[in-house]
Structure 1
Amino acid sequence: MGIYQVRKEGKRILGWDSPVTEIVNPAFIDLESRNGLGWLDGFNEMLVRCGYEWTGHPGVDDNGQLLSLHGRVQNTPASLVKIEIDDEAPHTITVTGVVAESTFKKSNLSTETQLSIIPGENTFSINDTLTNKADYDDEYQIIYHSNFGKPILEKGAKVHAAASEISPFNDYEKGGLKNWQTYLGPTKDFDEMVFNLKPISDKEGNSLAVLHNKDADSGVSMQFKTDQLPVLTIWKNTDTLKQGYVTGIEPGTSYAYNTKYQRPLGLVPTIKAGEQKHFDLVYTVLTNAADVSQAVDTVDNIMKKEKIQLKSEPLVDLSH
């Protein structure tokens, strides 16, 4: 139930060029291959849901179980898909899917995903509901891995986010921390950089992240609720075009660390038996300089002239 790309008038406006050039049937994705990196064999979407039973980098959990990269939900076929078009104006189109993560003795999570769009508008919304159908409480994690390449991403492109602080994912990112907002052009041998942000919200609980091109006349914004998705990851992968020139703006319950590192951070929440959790996001395509300026102003208004604090040390020590 991910989103491959967003197109308008025959042209891609949101998405990226992955070396994975085709949609890969989940039957051909072995999540545990390459020591848990098999998820990458099908990674080419604009929006990938990472979760919900777990997410983050692969590794062995405290109980000895191998947790593969970014969970199972993206490569689990939906058991129900339906499309509804409202008879009444503005004729909202809603695509609903139900995806189950059910394993005997392990989990019984069900997610109803919804994508809604009004014809002719430059926004679309995601409204997901996670339900724990088990008789026992369970952990859950989610990252809305939202990925953007050309035409927005280019040398001099910039990201803005309403956040109180930012820290490097590991020691490598320390060298790029001061320039976290700006992007390189396609750069051979560039190793990915990941940054952890603590988003802040307005009075309604909404936070905003914005990515725009060098000239600030096209871009995309993402609105999300911090009580649902309390952290934000920015993934900068400005490698060559053929290797995958892309950035990820990723609201979530968790950062990209393996689950065992996130429990001490309080970033592996619990969903009670029978409980539901909701996740609501709004994506807006920014088509001109006025759109971009307004979105950046919204970020600034949430920030209230405060600056993001740069934390020099990673949240997690991955050396042991």
Structure 2
Amino acid sequence: MTDTRTIAMSTADRDRARDILAAVSGSYAAKVVGQEGLRRSLLIALITGGHVLLESVPGLAKTTAAQALSDAVQASFRRIQCTPDLLPSDIIGTQIFDYTNSSFETQLGPVHANFVLLDEINRSSAKTQSAMLEAMQEHQTTIGGQMYPLPKPFLVLATQNPIEQEGTYHLPEAQLDRFLLKEILDYPSFQEELTIIDRVDSGVYDEDPPAAATLDDVLFLQKLVGEVYLDPSIKNYIVSAVYVTRHANKYLTPELASAIEYGASPRASIAFARAARALALIEGRDHVIPDDVKTLRHVILRHRIILGFEAIAEDIRPETLIDAVFAAIPAP
């Protein structure tokens, strides 16, 4: 089926989007040093309304980044520390009996915010994770049989610590697939760490920076991203890459092909299309190019490709397999 849609984005809308994104990026950079991949992923999530899974050791500015982005767009922000005894009602809310009027009153939980940081999500139980699944997928919660819509925009940033695994619960593949992107953070460079110390000494982190945009601006970006042109040849490129993950034995070497137990679902193709359009908008373009898809390959596929036992034992990284997948298909 041929995509006959023409480029519909006006120059005025593109300029407005550029100004909003530049202001938000500037406000964000005032608090967060380096971590360019994290900045890009958070902006993509902001534009698409997707969710992001962040993996790193403690102390790499995950909470600071989430708070900085929230402040930049004047959004409500809540941080939830996940623990094994955390209950679904602690997140979504509960009904409390009011003795004064002999009736139940609903108290909404912290998930009812524009930005929700789930710190160490893999420490919460499966039952609590299932409550978050409804919020992430349906953008609503159910309390006492009554549905409560979540605010717009709504964005979940979940973190997990790859080092300390005692007392953690494995995230099911169904929930991992709900995260648009998975970003893995690394330590700052030598110079970046010096800059961090200088900013702490100067009191930057004690100040509230002026807002760079509004929630209306965010909703404008979320609407505008649908007007970014995605050529049929790039759609074919996206689907081809995802297809190879499911039929790796036809395209990769036997060693690499055997490392993939299950390939990515169609949700990966949808994620590529959404995120590539957002990345094009961030770069000031009204159309997607093949490099947008290549740039996003790791953050979209690393949590959707399921490795076999031998691959895990041999420490074969998902990124190695993803690079092999993209090397096996021609770019348009």
TM-score bracket for this pair, using the shorter chain length? under 0.3
Greater helix share, 1 or 2? 2
Structure with the larger RCO, 1 or 2 (CA within 8 Å, 6+ apart): 2
Task: Please tell me whether Structure 1 or Structure 2 has the larger radius of gyration of its CA atoms.
Answer: 2
**TM-score normalised to structure 2 length:** 0.27
Greater strand share, 1 or 2? 1
**TM-score normalised to structure 1 length:** 0.28
